[in-house]
A and B are shown apart, each in its own frame.
Chain A
Amino acid sequence: MTYETALAALADPTRRRVFEQLRGGPKPVGAIAQNLPVSRPAVSQHLKILKEAGLVRDEVDGTRRVYCIDPSGLGAIRRWLDEFWDEALEAFRAEAERPSNQAGKT
């Protein structure tokens, strides 16, 4: 994402208030809309733009979709962790399935 995209996304005062709702932690759309004088579909539209700007991420938690802030500084950490765990868990699988390990502790 670029500096300009983030700036543009936050230029809208209502969208800024939507973003601020996530400062305390992840929230579903309904909870964000409850605290604001705008409709739930409008909040969803603002979240979509914030997501495209790289400012928030969404994920499914059971039956609901939860949004949280994802600044690019954190995005870099997440990318690193993502790649790290792919490599680490593959090494773990290979170690766990080594014949000597399945036979017993050596």
Chain B
Amino acid sequence: MTNTSLKIKAAPVRKSVRVNVPPARAFEVFTARIENWWPPTHTLLKSPVATTIIEPFVDGRWYQIGEDKSEIDNGKVLAWEPPTRLILSWRLNSKLEIDDAVESEIEVNFVADGGHATRVELEHRIVAVDAEAMRQAVDSPNGWSGILESYMRVASG
């Protein structure tokens, strides 16, 4: 029995942070200056990150360039609505590699909070998971494959 077509939805990760700048500035820092704040330890590149770029339009690329000039695409710009809303797609797997196993979306809303502050609300949604790809990616008896196996054993027997 296989479950290659099984698509699973998971609960989104939600975060918010208040910054003491207006929405337009918050949006600009989040996008045009992402290289100044994106944690350098979190990259899919093999070499240190030289820069991170979000192209400022729908369907634009969102990518990183390493010090060795190598490039890696993290995803695409799905919504570009300065200064209020941004949606990026991000493909990753449980090993944080570019992978079709997990299709995710990062939606960021910039909400004015008083005269000069912004509440930045972020929701990272796991849109779709390919069960078979995850089975291969998370190979642990107590992990994903273990659950699917126990599920299938119970369901079929």
Interface positions of A (Cβ within 8 A of B) = 1-3, 6-7, 10-11, 16, 19-20, 23, 25-26, 55, 57, 59, 68-74, 76-78, 80-82, 84-97, 101-102, 105
Contacts and interface: CB of A to CB of B under 8 A. Distances in A.
Contact of A88 (B19, B32, B38, B94): B38
Contacts of A96: 19-21, 25-26, 29-30
A76 B138 contact: yes
Contacts of A72: 142-144, 146-147
A9 to B, nearest CB: 9
A82 B11 CA distance: 12
B47 interface: no
Contacts of A102: 20-21, 25
A87 B42 CA distance: 10
Contacts of A71: 8, 143-144, 147-148
Interface centre among B6, B138, B145, B150 (most CB of A within 10 A): B150
Contacts of B150: 3, 6-7, 10
Interface of B: 6, 8-11, 13, 15, 17-21, 25-26, 28-30, 32-33, 36-39, 42, 92, 94, 96, 102, 120, 122, 124, 126, 129, 134, 137-138, 141-148, 150-151, 153-155
Given A68-B11, A85-B13, A96-B19, 20 more contacts: A11-B154, A20-B155, A55-B147, A69-B9, A69-B10, A71-B143, A71-B144, A71-B148, A72-B146, A73-B143, A74-B126, A76-B94, A76-B143, A85-B15, A91-B38, A92-B19, A92-B30, A93-B17, A95-B29, A105-B28
B110 to A, nearest CB: 11
Nearest to A7: B150
Interface SS of chain B:
mixed
A96 B29 CA distance: 6
B29 to A, nearest CB: 4
Chain B CB within 10 Å — which of A77, A78, A87, A101 has the most? A77
